[in-house]
Structure 1
Amino acid sequence: MFLLGKVSWLLAAAALALSLAVPNGYNFGIAILFIVSLLLPFLKVRFSLSRQDYIITSAFLIYFIFTTFFIYLYGWNTRDFDRPSRFLLVAPVLFLLLHVDGYRKLLWAGATWGAIFASVVALYERYYLGLPRAMGAEYPIMFGDTSILLGFISAVAALYFFAKRQYYLLALAILGFIAGSLGSILSGSRGGWVGIPIILVFMLWHSRDLLGKRVVLGVFGVCLVGALTVLAIPQLGVSKKIEQTVQSVQLYLDGEPNTSLGLRFEMWKGALYMFESSPVFGVGEYGAKEFKQRLANEGVISEQAVVFDHAHNEYLNALSLTGIVGFLALMAVYLVPLRLFLRKMREYKNNWNVKAYAMAGALVPMSYMDFALSQSMFSHNIGVMMYVFPIVFFWAAVRWAEKEYTEGLAAESLKVNKSD
């Protein structure tokens, strides 16, 4: 059982580390981990799931059930089950990790090396191959958003190692944060940049007692200088992207929708029309193209906006295709895990053995809720895989760290009672 625990957590870490390093790298560790999880019924382990374990599993299950309903309602194409099935198949992986202890600290290494590998891929593509945007084996937006997510988790790892006074690992984790940010910058994915200040403030606020006022101000200052430096280096392309954003908005206001940002506005407009047409269940994935073509024929939206498969906004995509019912299922998938992780952060606000894993877990839905403003993350394999599985990885890590803490308290109490 001990060996199974070591292998299981190593596979979880490998999924993070290889997510952007090689094509479909996230599948490697997760596929094997899922196969291993199927052995759980044959092992002599007792299931003692908590109410919160059931809640987080139920949120994913409900999303899968509603997605299945919409697939049936709008065509029942078995191909459409691929991505939603991950919300169901993640359950046995969670059960496995909740029942086999191991080196959960490997998750920090997985995220950190995943971010570093992403930056290596990005640097190679931008400055050796000469590509305009780093993308690895994914779309640039998916690459950039996943890279910054790994960078955020690396930043939490830095807080964990700071609390442990493990300074070599602290330095490596900081490098991971910088690398993850660099991968996002070189991908040119502006949507992921919006949440960086908010998430950094969130992390600094919740670590103010650990770091102290001087360190918090110092980190804030370093981040500010870093941001200004990034803007000042033209080769990174950030200032150019910001200029293009401003120009695109101005062009759109002047009646020119056919820019990168302008087409997004057109897709969002079309999505709102679809939602208005069918607010309860939406128009369905297969009805959306016909609906958009009709809007284009009437001159409501640009013809070029019709070719896109989704609205480049997860919220509007859900509202337009699945109506308010699908939208509520989507929000449950975001908010239920987020609430559970935030609750653990409050319960163990001074215990970084637990709090760090809870903070890392909370950053997954927080980041995705930011990414969702400019991309339909769940329309891509990597978007689904790098959401549901990191959540269960860090939730299981929280539960083991929590158990370790409570058992330690019980042992201390027993010693005190014996001494009395």
Structure 2
Amino acid sequence: MKNRITSLRWVVFFVLFSTSSLLLIGRRAGNLGFYALLLAALLSLVLRSQHADLRFGTFVRRFWPWHLAMAGMLLAILLNQLISGDFAARSFDYPSRMALFVLLAWACLQCSASMLGWLQWSYVLGALLCTVKMYIITDGGTTRAGHVDFMPIIEFADMTLLMGFYTLVSIRYTPGRGNLLHLLNLLKIVAFLGTLYAAYISGTRGTWLAIPVLAAIASRILFDRFEQRKQILLALAGVLGLISLFVLNPQVQHRVEAAQQDITTYSKDASSDTSVGTRLGLWKTSYELFLEHPLIGVGRENFHSTLQGLGQQGKISPVIARQIHSHNEIFYNMATLGTFGLAGLLALYLVPGVCFARKMRDADAEVRAVASMGLMTAVGFFIFGLTDVTFMWGASDNFYAIFMAILFAHCYRRQTQRAHPAA
């Protein structure tokens, strides 16, 4: 029995390492990793594996807020369909990735704290591969591609940036000493800078919005050895430095000026079909749909047809009527799932975010660093969702579910290791 559980542990580690480094690179990597982790979780239950005092039933009861929050969107869709009587099984596919967090996290918990710590190198590898991929698909920043294989370039840029920040804060627990430590940390910094470059050449303004916030969280971890005043000053210097790198760039200035011009045009003519104007029109229309259907919304499957109907009535422009989502995660869930959708989405952000934020005060540097990655994931997806519907894409749902499971398990295993060294 012990040998089988040990073998399963290494299988899970291999799945986690390959998935976390290749999820954004290969079309099937995320799905294969997701289903492999589910299978591993089920096998562990059959083998009745446990760690120290943590049985599966205890795990479910102790961390029920996590499980409920991660299932929030699926529950919102279920309530919508039960009340409306309009059933569509495919609506459950992507939200189920996060709803099955309970099994994903249980699979990740099969790995030891040391094994989860080794995943730092999968973050480095992932960051480097994503940078190369972004360079290739944009021809070195000379073309702005709409899609990257199996997802829009917006989502690819978003998650590439997160991989870079994971790599950066993992500096706090890089193994080794002396020159080797410096060399490995230099590699991590290069990988991080590569993802900043990838974000820049992507031309994705929504991704750029997240950089100052993620940089502030990273600074809190990287400079936590200093007294509070120095921490704040160093954090401000880091954030301002990153902002300056972008703001002073002509391409970034052009994109920002274009957005400002779109807003000016929209303020004079609400029917304008500029990029930003279309988004503002969609947000307004989505909010109006929410007011008309505040409890359950119009339903995921009915959003596009509802917009088409409003377009035929002349209430919205033809460009807005052709859209398949609101270009805003919150407005989209309010319009399609009503109050249930809003509550489910906020729980998805807030519960993990608050839990990880609390762990950033832990005495252990590795726990603090990993917790900051979790907070970055929650906050990052919230910011990304301000300009797009991130969870509409399978890669995004896989990313959020799998990395939340990894980071949760890493924090738990590390804290347990310190509390019970012999366990």
Normalised-by-shorter TM-score class: 0.7 to 0.9
Instruction: Report the Cα distance in structure 2 between the residues aligned to 1:210 and 1:306, rounded to whole angstroms.
Output: 53
What CA distance in whole angstroms lies between the structure 1 residues aligned with 2:330 and 2:267? Answer: 24
Between the aligned partners of 1:27 and 1:71, the Cα distance in structure 2 is 26
TM-aligned CA deviation for residue 406 of structure 1: 0.8
**Kept after mapping to 2: 8 A contact 1:158/1:171:** no
Separation in 2 of the partners of 1:74 and 1:210? 56
- Mapped contact 2:220–2:231 kept (Cα < 8 A): no
Structure 2 Cα separation of the partners of residues 66 and 199 of structure 1: 29
Partner residue, 2:6: 2
Partner residue in 1 for 2:333: 318
Which runs of no fewer than 5 residues in structure 2 stay unpaired? Answer: none
Partner Cα separation in structure 2 for residue 208 and residue 241 of structure 1: 32
Q: CA deviation at 1:131?
A: 3.1
Amino acid at match of 2:277: G
- Does 2:130 align with 1:118? yes
- Distance in 2 (CA, whole Å) between partners of 1:356 and 1:163 is 17
- Range that drifts further, 219-228 or 278-287: 219-228
- Output the CA distance in 2 between the equivalents of 1:365 and 1:127: 31
Q: Report the AA paired with residue 34 of structure 1.
A: L
Distance in 1 (alpha carbons) for counterparts of 2:176 and 2:86: 53
Change (3 A) 1:96 1:162: closer
Deviations 1:98-135 (A, max 9, x none): 23425112322222221211110111122269532374
Counterpart-to-counterpart distance in 1, 2:85 and 2:318: 24
- Can you list the C-alpha shifts for 1:191-238, whole angstroms capped at 9, x where unaligned? 12112112212332354332567787567546544543444444xx32
* Comparing 267-276 and 23-32, the one that deviates more: 23-32
Match of 1:268 among 283, 288, 300: 283
CA deviation profile, 1:269-325 (whole Å, cap 9, x unmatched): 110110111111111123333432343345443220111111011111111111112
TM-score by length of 1: 0.88
Q: Which has the higher contact order (CA 8 A, sep 6+)?
A: 2
> Match for residue 256 of structure 2?
242
Secondary structure in 1 aligned to 2:194? helix
SS of corresponding position for 1:280: coil
In structure 1, the partner of 2:210 is: 195
Match of 2:99 in 1: 88
Residues 1:61 and 2:71 aligned together: yes
In 1: Cα distance, 2:86 partner to 2:78 partner: 11
Does the 8 A contact of 1:269 with 1:301 survive in 2?
Answer: no
Equivalent position of 2:121 in the other structure: 109
Contact residue 12 and residue 110 of structure 2 kept, 8 A: no
1:161 aligns with 2:174: yes
C-alpha contact 2:108 2:409 (8 A) present in aligned 1: yes
1:194 maps to amino acid? L
* Bigger mean CA offset, 82-91 vs 49-58: 49-58
**Aligned-partner Cα distance in 2 for 1:164–1:52:** 38
**Equivalent residue number for residue 414 of structure 1:** none
- Given that 1:74 and 1:284 are in contact with CA atoms closer than 8 Å, whether structure 2 keeps it comes out as no
Alignment partner of 1:312: what SS? coil
Q: Give the superposition deviation at 1:157.
A: 1.1
Q: For residues 331 and 223 of structure 1, what CA distance do their matches in structure 2 show?
A: 26
Go from structure 1 to structure 2 and tell me whether the alpha carbon gap of 1:272 and 1:215 turns closer, same or farther (over 3 Å shift). closer
Matched, 1:340 2:344: no
Q: Give the secondary-structure state (helix, strand or coil) at the position aligned to 1:39.
A: helix
What is the CA RMSD across the aligned residues, in angstroms? 2.7
Return the offset for 1:381: 0.5
**Is the deviation greater in 254-263 or in 376-385?**
254-263
Counterpart amino acid of residue 19 in structure 1: L
- Asked if the contact 2:108–2:406 (Cα under 8 Å) also holds between the matched residues in 1, the reply is yes
Equivalent position amino acid for 1:249 in 2:
I
TM-score by length of 2: 0.87
Q: Does 1:393 align with 2:406?
A: yes
* 1:403-414 paired onto structure 2 within 5 Å: 403-408=416-421
**Higher mean C-alpha displacement, 43-52 vs 382-391:** 43-52
